Amino acid sequence: MTPPLQRGYNSFVLTIGTVVLPSPCLLAPLAGVSDLPFRTVNRSFGCAFAFAEMISARALVYQNRNTATMLSSLPADKPLGVQLLGNDPEVMKKALEILRNHEFDLLDINAACPVGKVTGRGEGASLLRDSKALAELVRTVVAHSPVPVTLKIRAGWDDTSLNAREVALRTQEAGISGLFLHGRTRAQGYSGRVNYRIIREVKEALDIPVIASGDALSPRLIKKMFDETGCDGVAIARGALGNPWIFREVDPYLRNGTLLPRPEGEEIARTMQTHLDLCIDHYGEGVGTLVFRKFFAWYVRGIADIKVLKEKAFRATTREQMLGIIREAGDTREPVYYSAHYR
Alpha-carbon span 186 to 31, nearest angstrom: 17
Helices 265-283, 36-44: axis angle to 10 degrees equals 150
Triad 231, 185, 223: Cα angle to 5°: 30
CB of 111 to ligand FMN, least distance (A): 8
Residue of 13, 31, 70, 205 interacting with ligand FMN (CB under 6 A): 31
Residue of 16, 25, 26, 33 interacting with ligand FMN (CB under 6 A): 33
Please say which residue, 30 or 174, places its beta carbon nearer to ligand FMN. Answer: 30
Per CB under 6 A, 293 contacts ligand FMN: no
Nearest Cα residue to 71 out of 30, 28, 102? 102
Partners of residue 234 on adjacent β-strands: 25, 212
Per CB under 6 A, 114 contacts ligand FMN: no
Per CB under 6 A, 152 contacts ligand FMN: yes
The reply to whether 113 belongs to the active site is yes
Q: Site residues for ligand FMN, window 49-68 (CB under 6 A)?
A: 54
Alpha-carbon span 326 to 314, nearest angstrom: 12
Per CB under 6 A, 215 contacts ligand FMN: yes
Q: Which residue type does 18 have?
A: T
Per CB under 6 A, 326 contacts ligand FMN: no
Residue of 65, 121, 238, 310 interacting with ligand FMN (CB under 6 A): 238
CB of 78 to ligand FMN, least distance (A): 20
Is the preceding omega at residue 4 within 30 degrees of 0, hence cis?
no
Per CB under 6 A, 28 contacts ligand FMN: yes
Per CB under 6 A, 167 contacts ligand FMN: no
262: phi > 0 → left, psi -120 to 50 → alpha, else beta; which?
beta
Give me the catalytic one of 25, 47, 113, 231.
113
Per CB under 6 A, 182 contacts ligand FMN: yes
In 10 A of CB 161, how many CB atoms?
A: 15
Per CB under 6 A, 186 contacts ligand FMN: no
Alpha-carbon span 313 to 330, nearest angstrom: 14
Radius of gyration of the chain (CA): 20
Q: Which residues bind ligand FMN (CB under 6 A)?
A: 28-33, 54, 83, 110, 112-113, 152, 182, 190, 213-217, 237-239
Q: Which residues are catalytic?
A: 113
